[in-house]
Amino acid sequence: MTDPWSLYSEKVMEHFKNPRNVGEMENPDGVGRVGDPICGDVMELYIKVNDGVIVDVKFKTFGCAAAIATSSMVTEMVKGKSVEEALKISNNAVVEALDGLPPAKVHCSVLAEDALKAAIENYLNNSSSPL
């Protein structure tokens, strides 16, 4: 059970301690970079797309535990999804999957959604095939 007085849910801490899909990607099909180091959060998300399906995803994040955990969670959520499905993933879905975030940290989930959208947009701009 999550301690009601702890800052983060167990899920967030688990993803912070063992983030999934960390790293860079060689020749990604799409890259999204959002945030600003001055504000304390920068996320970089790379995707590999095959036949309209996100077959691989990696991230690098500078930020608080919530920023790292939301990045990690969003990569797990998009893997294997079609680009169209991935575009529908909202920041709320990421927050829910992490069993919630403190109100002051919800912006991290928005950043994760933005990073994903930016990577997909980058892919769509690069590829000639429309959705």
Partner 1 sequence: MRRIYLDHAATTPTRPEVVKAMLPYFTDAFGNPSSIYSYGQEARGAIEEARIKVAELIGARSEEIIFTSGGTEADNYALKGVAYANERKGNHIITTSIEHRAVLEVCRFLEGRGFKITYLPVDVYGLVAPDDVKRAITNKTILISVMHANNEVGTIEPVEEIGKIAREAEVYFHTDAVQTVGHIPVNVDELKVDLLSVSGHKLYGPKGVGALYVRKGTRLVSFMHGGGQEKKCRAGTENVPAIVGLGKAVELAGQEMGKEAERQAYLRDKLIKGLVEKIDHIRVNGHPTRRLPNNVNVSADFVEGESLLLSLDLEGICGSTGSACGMASPEPSHVLLALGTLAEQAQGSLRFTLGRDNTEADVERVLEVLPGIVARLRAMSPLLKTQK
**Residue 125 to residue 50: CA distance in whole angstroms:** 15
C-beta of 37: minimal distance to partner 1 in Å?
4
Q: Which of 30, 19, 101, 124 is nearest to 62 (CA)?
A: 19
**Which residue, 30 or 63, is less far from partner 1 as judged by CB?**
63
Beta strands in 18-67 (DSSP E): 30-36, 41-50, 53-62
- Span near partner 1 by CB under 8 A; candidates 62-70, 77-85, 92-100, 122-130: 62-70
Note whether 57 and 21 are within 8 A (CB). yes
Taking CB under 8 A as the criterion, the residue among 16, 82, 100, 114 binding partner 1 is 16
Taking CB under 8 A as the criterion, the residue among 37, 50, 125, 129 binding partner 1 is 37
Taking CB under 8 A as the criterion, the residue among 42, 77, 94, 111 binding partner 1 is 42
**Which residue, 45 or 130, is less far from partner 1 as judged by CB?**
45
Restricting to residues 75-104, which ones interact with partner 1 according to CB under 8 A?
A: 104
Residues at the site binding partner 1, with contacts judged by CB under 8 A: 7, 16-17, 19, 22-24, 33, 37-44, 59-65, 67-68, 104
